Structure 1
Amino acid sequence: MVSKIPVIDQCTVSNSLRSEIMVEDLATYLHRNKSLVFPHRHNFYHFLLFTQGGGTHSIDFETFEVAPWQIYFMSPGQIHTWTFDGEMTGFVVNFDKDFFKTFLLRPEHISYFSFFSGSVQDEVFTVKEEQRTAVLNIFARLQQNVQDLDFARVSMLYLFHVLEKQREPVRPKEVSLYNHTLLRNFLQLIELHYATLRLPKAYAELLYITPNHLNALCKEALGLSAGELIRNRVVLEAKRLLVIQNYSVSTIAYELNFSDNSYFTKFFKKSVGMTPDEFRKHMNINKSHHEK
């Protein structure tokens, strides 16, 4: 039996008078939440800067080695766990899903930053040396002025722009603003419809472009075909459902609109290299190991 992976509320982990945002030094946060080493999800946005320490952390089943000046971002719903070693220093920021809702004309604007795309590969990176002093100062000012919500919003947007700008040269290829917008819209449509729309043609129709254009755009910008991006999102949701709670494989297949359990199992094994039941057992063993 696999235990349900809990959803952590902002008020559970935050030591703040405000529920909208929390900014705290990492050592204090970890001491206060020292029992939070089991796999869990958040219902809020979360990002963390390491300035010292070691160990590992995982986001949606991908594990990363902790390194100084590494930063990671998480969106609501992603599965997360950590195992830290030594003295940990840095900063943690948690903010509500609606934190920018009344501040920005388009609150979805933050999803246009690469590290809030929902792709784990974009969510973990190292702050470049020339930006470290500026980034550290922004975190410090945020912590000192967290009760001023407008100041916090402006500071965070500035931080996001600083971090996004430093990442631009390492993107696979530059794409036009139009194609960049198309790609973001495609990824957002996948998030909305992955369980019911599986073919690139369906998404191309929603975007008013040809399937060939969509596929070429995905290949150029991300190195993956449109079909691979759709399948990867379906596989991720299958993994989440397998470990979140004790659903049967047939129930998961039904939830993801597969015609039958056998087809779902073949689809999952082709993508992951093991059957759904084998993946669940593997994750349960890893979880038991971390809890010891």
Structure 2
Amino acid sequence: MISGYPVYDICTLSGQQEHDLLADRFGDYLKKHDKLHFPHKHSFYHLVYFTRGSGTHVIDFETYDVKPGQVYFMIPGQVHSWFFEGEIDGYIINFSQAFFTSFLLRPDYLDSLPFFSGNTDDAVIQLNAKTQKAVIALFESVIEESTQHDRYSFDMIRTAMMRLFTLVAREHKKHAEVVTPTYNHTLLANFRKLIEQHYNTLKLPKDYAALLYITPNHLNALCNDILGVSAGEVIRNRIILEAKRMLINPKLTVADIGGRLGFADNSYFTRFFKKQGGLTPDEFRKNFNK
């Protein structure tokens, strides 16, 4: 099956059989993988911290300026590309979900962190000077431990990464509205997880409401209350995002993409895409290529 974009796993990037972790200095990483500036996605969690350089980083078609002291978090499945100016350096860690779930009694630990929500606006964080110093020391510790290969090295890496996550989560909390989790917030999180699983087959809020054992009106009300948009809009936005991801690949026809997203009729998919994004799929593809 032709993917809409190159998909990389840790084993492919590291050249080793160990597929749960890859840690490196970013400048060295770029030299080894000089084609990674093209749009691609990962099958793993991915974080990058910049200590030097400038340019832009595009995550799911949202563009961010690269700045020293900035950290990026990405979850599996997101599409990104970067365009750097001058010398660039920092740190990178790629890790699988199993790397933590095998260590913790909380399989939902990563999902509880705000920067691993999949919302790109929560995933790009400018750290203050004090946090930058602590984060750099933790990245150095992870890289050092990744060369040890003794029975304790992975536990040391996990401990350092959890400290890093906690420091950044605290920094994120300072700049974000503090929301006490409620029953509706939990429902919304479950709704989004169900969309990730079924967006190519289930298109209507009533389908997801049935899976959540609530009424469509309740689902729509909580989306409007928390997100400011309807439940239908949340579903449609996810479908459009996946369509854009696949339109990157010129080998996939618009009809192919519509079929994979569950649209039996190509003209219906084209109308749906244009209504949501203001452009036809072909127009979006041409603009992206420019």
Please classify the TM superposition score into its range, dividing by the shorter chain length: 0.7 to 0.9
1:85-96 to 2 correspondence within 5 Å?
85-96=85-96
Q: TM-score, normalising length from structure 1?
A: 0.86
From the superposition, tell whether residues 246 and 35 of structure 1 become closer, same or farther in structure 2 (CA, over 3 Å). Answer: closer
1:283 shift after superposition = 2.2
Counterpart Cα distance in 2 of 1:153 and 1:284: 40
1:231-259 CA distance string (max 9 Å, x none)? 11000111122223522222222221224
Counterpart Cα distance in 2 of 1:80 and 1:235: 16
Could you tell me which amino acid in structure 2 is paired with residue 62 of structure 1?
E
| Pair 1:243 & 2:248 matched | yes
1:139 shift after superposition = 1.5
2:261 maps to 256
Structure 1: state its 5+ residue gaps: 286-292
1:143 shift after superposition = 1.6
RMSD value, Cα: 2.5
Aligned residue for 1:230, secondary structure, equals helix
2:239 maps to 234
1:288 maps to none
Aligned residue for 2:34, secondary structure, equals coil
Aligned residue for 1:87, secondary structure, equals strand
| Sequence identity percentage | 49
Are 2:3 and 2:246, in contact at CA under 8 Å, matched by a contact in 1? no
1:124-143 to 2 correspondence within 5 Å?
124-143=124-143
1:192 shift after superposition = 0.6
1:181-200 to 2 correspondence within 5 Å?
181-200=186-205
2:206 maps to 201
Could you tell me which amino acid in structure 1 is paired with residue 31 of structure 2?
H
1:117 maps to 117
1:169 shift after superposition = 4.4
From the superposition, tell whether residues 194 and 159 of structure 1 become closer, same or farther in structure 2 (CA, over 3 Å). Answer: same
1:22 maps to 22
1:109 shift after superposition = 2.6
Counterpart Cα distance in 1 of 2:128 and 2:210: 40
Counterpart Cα distance in 2 of 1:213 and 1:129: 44
| Pair 1:284 & 2:286 matched | no
1:167 maps to 172
| Pair 1:214 & 2:208 matched | no
Are 2:4 and 2:246, in contact at CA under 8 Å, matched by a contact in 1? no
Which deviates more from structure 2 when the two are superposed, residues 34-43 or residues 218-227?
A: 218-227
Are 1:3 and 1:246, in contact at CA under 8 Å, matched by a contact in 2? no
Are 1:26 and 1:91, in contact at CA under 8 Å, matched by a contact in 2? yes
4+ aligned runs moved over 6 Å, structure 1? none
Could you tell me which amino acid in structure 2 is paired with residue 167 of structure 1?
H
From the superposition, tell whether residues 16 and 52 of structure 1 become closer, same or farther in structure 2 (CA, over 3 Å). Answer: farther
1:172 shift after superposition = 4.7
From the superposition, tell whether residues 35 and 270 of structure 1 become closer, same or farther in structure 2 (CA, over 3 Å). Answer: same
Could you tell me which amino acid in structure 2 is paired with residue 36 of structure 1?
L
Could you tell me which amino acid in structure 2 is paired with residue 123 of structure 1?
A
Aligned residue for 1:121, secondary structure, equals helix
Selected match of 1:152 from 148, 157, 160: 157
1:73 shift after superposition = 1.4
Which deviates more from structure 2 when the two are superposed, residues 115-124 or residues 127-136?
A: 127-136
Structure 2: state its 5+ residue gaps: none
1:265 maps to 270
1:182 shift after superposition = 2.1
Aligned residue for 1:251, secondary structure, equals helix
1:213 shift after superposition = 3.6
Could you tell me which amino acid in structure 2 is paired with residue 136 of structure 1?
I
2:100 maps to 100
